[in-house]
A and B are shown apart, each in its own frame.
Chain A
Amino acid sequence: MNIFRLAGDMTHLFSVLVLLLKIHTIKSCAGVSLKTQELYALVFAARYLDIFTNYISLYNTVMKLIFLGSSFSIVWYMRYHKIVRRSYDKDQDTFRHYFLILPCLLLALLINEKFTFKEVMWTFSLYLEAVAILPQLVLLQRTRNIDNLTGQYVFLLGAYRALYILNWVYRYFTEPHFVHWITWVSGLVQTLLYADFFYYYFQSWKNNQKLHLPA
């Protein structure tokens, strides 16, 4: 494992911790898209089908369990926790996420490395992860006062994707036969979706102003 991959995983882990911190201690999920969180839960469920059959390392298994557990518990908090769910901006979070799931599934059935159930589900999870942030970005645009934790959560998620790209570049030059077009293209698409957000995030940081995305 190289430094970019480790940094990427840690950034991903921090993003989840920031979100759980907000939900668990402040008992608020204001500005957080349940649609995006449900998509992430689906992404991890589809991708980690091999969790008990394909052992890679203890690190890998533990991280998979953390991402599965955290994504499903965030969804549970936002849907069912009697205090947290009151702060959910239901009327603003209107992105129809079902419209993302079906095209991703069709694309995974058409474009994959191997036509097996696990491989198609794995590919589906990559395509879905690439677009899963969209409901969250739409909600951020509609939110007048984006609080710091929500802004940091999205920033950390974007940073995780950027670090994964550096990891792929590194692996491409250091490992023989390391070519994963599906992973790379969907990962690149995913990272590009954050470009706009990054621009405004750094502007607000530079000018010491509250983060605000123009509609």
Chain B
Amino acid sequence: ADIITEHDEL
């Protein structure tokens, strides 16, 4: 996955 745009936080 793209590290920059991966939003895994809330």
A residues with CB within 8 A of B: 5, 9, 12, 47, 50, 54, 56, 60, 63-64, 67, 113-114, 119, 122, 164, 167, 177-178, 183
Contacts and interface: CB of A to CB of B under 8 A. Distances in A.
> For chain B, which range describes its interface: under 10, 10 to 19, 20 to 34, or 35 or more residues?
under 10
Interface of B: 3-5, 7-10
7 contacts: A113-B4, A114-B4, A119-B5, A122-B7, A164-B9, A177-B3, A183-B9
Contact of B8 (A12, A56, A122, A177): A56
A66 to B, nearest CB: 10
Given A47-B7, A177-B3, 18 more contacts: A5-B9, A9-B10, A12-B10, A50-B7, A54-B7, A56-B8, A60-B8, A60-B10, A63-B10, A64-B10, A67-B10, A113-B4, A114-B4, A114-B5, A122-B7, A164-B9, A178-B3, A183-B9
A212 B7 CA distance: 38
A4 to B, nearest CB: 11
A145 B1 CA distance: 50
